[in-house]
Each structure stands twice: as C-alpha cells, then as structure tokens.
Chains A and B, each alone.
Chain A
Amino acid sequence: MNAPVYNFAYLDEQTKRMIRRAILKAIAIPGYQVPFASREMPMPYGWGTGGVQVTAAIVGPDDILKVIDQGSDDTTNAVSIRKFFARTAGVRTTTSTGDATVIQTRHRIPETPLHAGQILVYQVPIPEPLRFLAPRETETRRMHALSEYGLMHVKLYEDIARHGHIATTYAYPVKVDSRYVMDPSPIPKFDNPKMNDSPALQLFGAGREKRIYAIPPHTSVVSLDFEDHPFERYRHEATCAICGAVDSFLDEVVTDDSGGRMFVCSDTDYCATQGPHEVKRV
C-alpha cells in the first residue's frame, strides 16, 4: 500500500490557487457569493469545511492561527481544527485574539477588537441570505443581480407584525457596501456591528454550498432594519460569573434541574483577559 502524503496545510497547491482566485474575486466584489470548486475535506460537511479550505489557502508558515467555536478556543471542534493545522501545516497556534494573524471562527466574532493585518475566517453553513425566502438558487441569484431585496424586508416586516419584533436572532442579514445583502453566518446579532468598518479582512467559506465571500477592511456593513424598528443588539442582562464582564456576549449554563442558571462569557480568551475571579452563582 502507498502511504498517503499530504501537502503543507493539506490542500494541493493547485487547489489553493483556485481558492485564492475565488477569494480575490470575493474581495473585489464585497458581499457577493463567489462559486468555487470546494473539495472533500477530512472532516464532515457542516464542521467547517469551507472555513478550513479558506484557511488552508491563505495560511503561511509565519502565520499564528487561532480557532474558535462558539467564541471558545476549547470547544471540541475548535480543538480539532487547530490540531489539524498544527499537524498538516505545522503553524504556530494561539488562543490570544491579539496575537493571532488568522482567526477561524464558527458562530462568533471575538470581543477584543481586531486590528489591521488580521484575517477573520468564518465557517458558513448557508451562504444565501435569501435561501429561506426562495430556496432555488436560480431565483436568488437573479434577485441579487437585480438588487431585488424587497422580499427580505417583507419577511422582517411580517416578523414585526406577528411578534412585535424582528424574530431573527442570529445569522441576521446585512447589506455590504450598499450593494449585496449578505448572510453573516450564524453569529448572534450582538456581533453584527463588529463587522462594520473593521480594520481586519473578513472571509467567509461555505464548503458544502461551494461559495466564498468577503468583506474587505473598512467596508460598510449595515444590519437591515426599519426606521421605526431600528436594529438592536441582544445580550442576556447579566454579568459573567467568572470575570464579571458586563459587555460581553454570554452563554447560559444550567447548573441543576430546578431552574439554576449562571452566565459566562462565550469568548473564553476575552474572559481570561478580564482577570480571573471565583465562580459566582447568580
């Protein structure tokens, strides 16, 4: 049997070039979904194959990689992907948001503001913001081409009519550079404002759906809303039980089966840098 040999960062160089061309096009047309020939990766679709391909195409030997899932470096899938790149590319890894040059993320944007030169790679399950309004690609691509986004506003309006609120709490649609409506991946809408005018490059990879899109640094990103129902961030009205943060996005942790709850920072690196505290039951 021939022992399999794998290239730096797993993908072969031709594939990396193909992905880089897609990334360059995506940067040139902010918010536009560029089709790319997504490969089978050694983890299942849905685990971040798009993000992993983007990271594999851009990471170099000098990079310092951070991987988070749900804001945390220590969640199983983040550990797995970090180990994958440590093994296949031998790159240095970190949990520090400030030290990382490339951050691959699932479902969160770090609390610590990003700086110029950093790249944030999002794992995207459904890249098409209009998918749940019109499931057919043939229709949604035409709607994007014609900037025909009325249906999205009707959906948000119907939410308000039915619930009194816009009932989208994550993957909240945004308009990029006043042109394309874009799905920011399932980040909580708390994170949406961080995308706007960010000094970092933001890349989005959807492996199963074979799409890459991008927000170049200092691009306008506006969450869709109405004048009388402006966009609002949401966080639990609580304090982190570990670090005491009052400004971070919180995870609810169930402590018993009689209604006991506590709240902790979703971003574990941010939590650690706020200074350690005893766990307080709230």
Chain B
Amino acid sequence: MYVAVKGGERAIENAHTLLAHERRGDPSVPELSLAQISQQLTLAVDRVMTEGSLYDRDLAALAIKQARGDLIEAIFLLRAFRATLPRFGATAPVDTAAMDIRRRISATFKDLPGGQVLGPTFDYTHRLLEPSTDAPVSEPATGAAYEGTTPRVTDLLANDDLIERDDNSASAIPGDLTREPLSFPAERDLRLQNLARGDEGFLLALGYSTQRGYGRTHPFAGEIRLGDVEVEFFAEDAGFAVPLGHITMTECQMINQFAGSATEAPKFTRGYGLAFGHCERKVMSMALVDRALRARELGEEQAAPAQDEEFVLSHSDNVQATGFVEHLKLPHYVDFQAELGLVRRLRAQFESAQDVGDVPVREAAE
C-alpha cells in the first residue's frame, strides 16, 4: 500500500517529466515550431497577447506551445513574465483614427468615408468542415490602396453632436491596476484596463446577458476596425515623441441608447473596446460591458450583473479566477480534518438525541 505522506519532491519531478512527454506527443509527428504557431494560430496568439497584456508574438507563441494549447495557462505564463519587466514609462495614446486599416465595418451606415472593408473574417463563411484546408491557398485579391482618410464613425456623429464627446482631458493620467490595487468605485480608465485584460469568455457571457435584457443598452456596432497603429513615446531628453514601431489592434465603438434630460438634448452614448491583434469578439464584448458599467455615471438603474462594477471587475481576470478555482486541488487536509471532527460530533449528538426520543434537534451552529 502506498501512503502519500512523504515523497512529494520525487512525485513532482516525475510529473513534470511526464508533462513534457505528453506535451511533445508522438515523437514520429514533427514538432510544432513557434513560427507555425505565430503564423497559423494567429488568433490564439492575439488572445494571449491581449489578456496577457504583453505585445510580443514570439513569446505568446512560446507560451501557447509550452501550455499545450491551454490559452489561460499561456496567458498566465505571459503575465508572469511581464511582471518581471522594468518599466520606462508610458507611450502616447495611440491614434486609432490614423490606423492603417485591414478591416473596417460599420453596422450603422451602409457606406461612409473609407468604405466598408471586410478584410479577413469568418463572418460569412459557412461552418462546414473542409478537410482540404491544407491545399495551397489562392492569392488574395489586390487593388489600389485607399488614399483618403477613414474617420471613426463616432467622430462623424460627434461632429453633429449626436453622440457624447470622448473625455479627452489630457491632464488625467490613467491609472494602472497592475501597479496600484483596484479599489471601488473604479473610474472608467481602470475599468477599461480591467476589461482589456479580462477573460474573453466571461466578458462575452456578460455582454450577451445585456443583450438578453439583463441591463439592456440598445447597442449598435458603430464601427469595428482592425489594423496597424503607430506607437510613440515622449522622450524627455529629446523633447519630442519618438516612434517605437507599429502594433496591430482591434477597436470597437459601440453606439448605445440615447439619454437626455431637461438640460441636455438627447444623444447617443458610447461603449468602447480595444485589444491587441485581431480580437473582435473580445472588443465587442468589452464595449458592451463597458457601456453597462457606465450605468452609475449615466444615472441608470443598476440591477443586472453586467452593471455591477464590483462583481464584474473582481471576477473578470482569468489568471486570478483559474488560480482560485484550481487551488481547490491543493491539500486542505487540516481544514477538512477540523470540519470532519465537527460533523462527527454533531452526528453523535443527533444520534443520542434520536435514542432519547422526543428531544428536539437543535440547529447546528459553529
């Protein structure tokens, strides 16, 4: 008989070896390269970068490989690495209006300056299994580059004062919940940061709940855009902003129900989503939840889960969530033994009371 009292160290070493073995799979099948992951599992890489809060395709690919495709585990790996990086400062806000567009759609206007650009999307594919996806793919269509600007739909509406203005108060320095613990009530900068890092599935479910009547916000996808934006850093020494390079981002501007009052004309309100890479489901969900969480500021009734800031922000982080849920696997021998002792005592009391007969059973209390 094996009694697992000692020998943990050896067991852990063996488990790690076995894990590496399982990760590799059948050695007669060629090993996956990081380039294959970053080139062919692009959307997995994008999600890991977004929720891992670190823009690095190679590291995200490595994390996915090391995590055997478990994306939350990969996000965890990337976050743990990110936490060790020194910080030089913050970049200037990226200008998504100047984005080099690869995809841009609006559900609110049939056509608009810059046009509707479908780009690479699953949206209108038929979900039929195609075993021949390893066949050579045809070259994508090409055309002359669009010369004009692609203004954001929300800016077009704002020109006519039909939507609330963005809060562009430059003096406000956004908070950072990775450096300062989150406290409630949280302002929108921290809420957006939390949602940007938040679990796609959790935000998806919450956003969906608002569409089904639990905190309805009448959303329209004003615009979703995907493309490259320039990242600039204001260098104190040089005295001007230095371009650092380009990153791919997805942005969603949700246009939501109008609000008005005796002193203010009715206008549409905003929900906002932004992510690294191509994370369309994520930014749409984020925009829905962002808008739902603005209930307090907009004087709306707060009754639905998606409107409950503390509930949403406290449970959106999948690294935190998976840690606490899965920690139940850890030994809890001591606590459980204490509970077991109590239950045994209570049962003994219950049984002796039954023997006596008519003595009423009292409520169990600690």
Which residue numbers of A lie inside 8 Å of B, CB to CB?
1, 3-4, 6, 41-44, 47, 70, 72, 76-77, 79-80, 83-84, 87, 125-126, 131-132, 134-135, 163, 251-259, 264
Contact = CB atoms under 8 A, between A and B. Distances in A.
B362 interface: no
Contact of B266 (A76, A77, A163, A256): A163
A254 B113 contact: yes
Nearest to A45: B208
B113 A257 contact: yes
Q: Counting chain B CB atoms within 10 Å of each CB, which of A135, A253, A257 scores highest?
A: A257
Contacts of B214: 135
19 contacts: A4-B129, A6-B128, A41-B127, A47-B123, A76-B123, A77-B123, A83-B126, A84-B126, A126-B212, A132-B213, A163-B266, A254-B109, A254-B111, A254-B113, A257-B113, A257-B149, A257-B159, A259-B159, A264-B110
Nearest to A76: B124
Main secondary structure of the interface of A (DSSP, over half): loop
Q: How large is the interface on B (under 10, 10 to 19, 20 to 34, 35 or more residues)?
A: 20 to 34
A251 B110 CA distance: 7
Contacts of A44: 123, 127
A131 B212 contact: yes
A236 to B, nearest CB: 13
Nearest to B105: A76
Q: Which 6 A-B pairs have the closest CB atoms?
A: A135-B213, A42-B127, A80-B124, A254-B112, A257-B151, A131-B213
A38 B128 CA distance: 18
A254 B214 CA distance: 33
A156 to B, nearest CB: 16
Contacts of B212: 126, 131, 135
A69 B128 CA distance: 22
B73 interface: no
Contacts of B211: 125-126
Contacts of A256: 113
B353 interface: no
Q: Counting chain B CB atoms within 10 Å of each CB, which of A1, A76, A134 scores highest?
A: A76
Given A4-B128, A76-B118, A79-B124, A70 B110 contact: yes
B156 A254 contact: yes
Q: Counting chain A CB atoms within 10 Å of each CB, which of B127, B155, B160 scores highest?
A: B127
Contact of A42 (B126, B149, B159): B126
